[in-house]
Amino acid sequence: MLRRVDVAFLLTGAVLPALGAFVAVPALQAAGVPREAAVGAVVGLWVGAALLAARGIRSHVRGALDDALTRLDEGLRRGDAAGAVEAIDPVVRPVFARLQSVLAQVEVAGQAIIDRRELQQVIDSMPDSLLVLNQDGVVELANATSARRLGFGGPHEVVGLGLDALAGEVTPGWWQALQADGAFTTRDVRLRSRAGNVVTFSAAARVFERVGSTRSAGVLVARESAAEVNLLTQELAATAERLEVSERFFQDLFDAMEDPITVLSPDFEILQANRQAKLVFGRDLIGRRCYRAFRMRDTPCEDCPARETFAASTSVSVEHRIFGNAITRISTYPLLGKDGQVQAVINHKRDVTKERQLEDLKASFLATVSHELRTPLTSIMGFNKLNIRRLQRFVRPWVAEGPEEVRTALQKALSDMEVMGSEGERLGRLVNDVLDLSKLEAGKLRLAPESFEVLPLVQGAVTATSSLLAGRHLLVLPDVPEITPAAWGDRDRISQVLVNLLSNAIKYTARGEVRVAVVVESKMVRFVVQDSGEGIAPEDLPFIFERFRQAGDNQKGKPAGTGLGLAICKQIIQLHGGEITVESRVGHGSTFAFTVPRADASTRDSLG
């Protein structure tokens, strides 16, 4: 590629010398000037003129040349060639010397342009803003970053701008400081963008001496804007503070727990411990092995729940009798890492001694209450029954012939005593139900599972509830397949459930039918009790298996029950690994269904 300097050399080195060679040199030779001198002078003059013109000093050279030519012309006219050359010599020599110097400078400048382009590329790639200003505060060099930060299209748009345009004033404070101190390392420098907005740089700058010149200039290397840096710093500080607050919150939360909680590594090292853990097991807990710290053992405990949590990534809960009668429940929870693997285990200990004692207390309390209720109830009902018997045996025959009001009074007394008897029975059932339910809920009810035939169970339940049918236009229809596999469970308890559902169905159905069906499934036997009764309101359905809930509680003449029957049914069926469900539509009846394992299915293994 042709450089501008090359073009200048082509012009001055080829075209103008040709003119000189064909016009000026012969003229000089004709005047007696030696050829070499004439050629040198002319070439020198033309080249010098051309180049000096290119350097912007054309007028000066032209003046000198005009002067020299005038003198040459005068000398030639006088016929004094030597004089003529001598006359132009003082003019030509310095021009020639200057020309050589200019050529050297052009050479340097050409190289400088190449260097400068490379330099520009280098500084454009800097992430920092760079500005080089001369001593007058005019930008001589800028990089792409500074141009971009100031909103210019490129460095060339920034070069040439003075401080007045760039900073809004000729001598801003930082410029004065730079001139005075020669350098600064961190200082906010506010410059104006092309749009006129203030852009703040956090800048470092120094004054440097120009090579080959005494003039000084400043270099400004500016990093990201202080405002942005400040903002980032503030955000960082805020985040750090939030983190700290959050960490403190969780630490406080951790410490506020009344139970000892620790975090264990896979090799049972205690990584974290809350205040309570340190209080119970010692301040120096962290870093120790849990089996050593908690149980004074030399090797991991064989019943360790953490081991299982590490292996299976599940939470595990065990109860240990550690010291004397104290019972501790240890629960472990997995702490998963980013890869989904268990990194550590949370170990939570709770002293459940009191809970267990309370459970025992509750059981014995219930047994006592049950006994204390039953004993007077036995007396009340027993004496009531004896009185009924006495009245019937001894009084009734005697008053049979007596006045009508005595007979009526006796009949009313007997009838009222029957009510007392049935209410007493109800009270007895309630006591039984409360006792059953509390045993079931405490998991203390022991099932006596066996294989039993389904048909006799259904027939037994139908028989047991037949007395409830008196005075109702109701049909009870058993529907048991001819071949039904035996079921597996506590026969008496399953019978209790079926009788309960059947008596409910009868009690809530004034007329129509109650169907008791058995459906054989792959692993279970399903018992279905379907009635055509009043049905259960949708808002009652979700709570139907809760205790002391009776559908239609507000209804007049509600059937007498304890409100515990269905809760007990649910517990019994769940204990058998089965399920109990209800479907109902008001006005169309209800369907209760429950499942019990088949005797030939594997589910029976899970029963106690």
Partner 1 sequence: MSKRILIVDDDTHIRLLLHRTLEELEGMGVEIHFAEDGLDGLNQTRALQPDLMFLDVMMPHMNGFEVCREVRRDPALAKTHIVVLTARGQTQPPLDLRYAPHEIMTKPFDPDIIVARAAQVLGVSLDFGF
Binding residues for partner 1 (CB under 8 A): 366-368, 370-371, 374-379, 381-383, 385-386, 389, 393, 424-425, 428, 432, 435, 439
Euclidean distance between CA atoms 381 and 387, whole angstroms:
10
Nearest approach in angstroms of CB 525 to partner 1 is 28
Euclidean distance between CA atoms 83 and 89, whole angstroms:
10
Name the pairing type of β-strands 216-223 and 198-209: antiparallel
The residue (of 374 and 472) whose beta carbon lies closer to partner 1 is 374
* Cβ-based neighbours of 440, under 8 Å, separated by 6 or more: 568, 571, 572, 575
The residue (of 100 and 368) whose beta carbon lies closer to partner 1 is 368
Burial of 594 (0-12, 13-18, 19+ CB in 10 A): buried
The residue (of 100 and 375) whose beta carbon lies closer to partner 1 is 375
Q: How many whole angstroms from its chain centre is CA 479?
A: 56
Nearest approach in angstroms of CB 355 to partner 1 is 21
**How many CB atoms are closer than 10 A to CB 85?**
21
The residue (of 262 and 496) whose beta carbon lies closer to partner 1 is 496
8 Å CB contact between 145 and 128: yes
Long-range CB pairs of 383-387 (<8 Å, 24+ gap) are: 384/417, 384/420, 384/421, 384/424, 385/421, 387/417
Tokens of 17: 């010398």
Nearest approach in angstroms of CB 567 to partner 1 is 17
CA angle (20, 22, 25) in 5-degree steps? 60
Nearest approach in angstroms of CB 416 to partner 1 is 19
Euclidean distance between CA atoms 384 and 386, whole angstroms:
5
Tokens of 290: 């849990």
The residue (of 341 and 392) whose beta carbon lies closer to partner 1 is 392
The residue (of 436 and 534) whose beta carbon lies closer to partner 1 is 436
The residue (of 331 and 384) whose beta carbon lies closer to partner 1 is 384
Nearest approach in angstroms of CB 431 to partner 1 is 8
Residue whose structure tokens are 């025959």: 397
DSSP 8-state class, residue 75: H
- The string of DSSP codes covering 215-230 is -EEEEEEEES-HHHHH
Tokens of 203: 């800048």
Euclidean distance between CA atoms 289 and 270, whole angstroms:
6
The residue (of 428 and 552) whose beta carbon lies closer to partner 1 is 428
Side-chain half-sphere of 480: how many Cα atoms within 13 Å?
17
The residue (of 396 and 515) whose beta carbon lies closer to partner 1 is 396
Classify each residue of 317-329 as buried b or exposed e, where b means 16 or more C-beta atoms within 10 Å of its C-beta. Answer: eeebeeeeeebbb
The residue (of 164 and 423) whose beta carbon lies closer to partner 1 is 423
8 Å CB contact between 205 and 218: yes
Nearest approach in angstroms of CB 359 to partner 1 is 15
Nearest approach in angstroms of CB 376 to partner 1 is 7
Nearest approach in angstroms of CB 460 to partner 1 is 19
The residue (of 324 and 376) whose beta carbon lies closer to partner 1 is 376
Nearest approach in angstroms of CB 426 to partner 1 is 12
The residue (of 161 and 445) whose beta carbon lies closer to partner 1 is 445
Nearest approach in angstroms of CB 488 to partner 1 is 23
The residue (of 6 and 425) whose beta carbon lies closer to partner 1 is 425
Nearest approach in angstroms of CB 368 to partner 1 is 8
8 Å CB contact between 150 and 197: no
Nearest approach in angstroms of CB 577 to partner 1 is 25
Tokens of 273: 């411990």
CA distances (Å), 107 to each of 94, 101, 157, in order? 19, 10, 27
Nearest approach in angstroms of CB 493 to partner 1 is 14
Euclidean distance between CA atoms 399 and 412, whole angstroms:
14
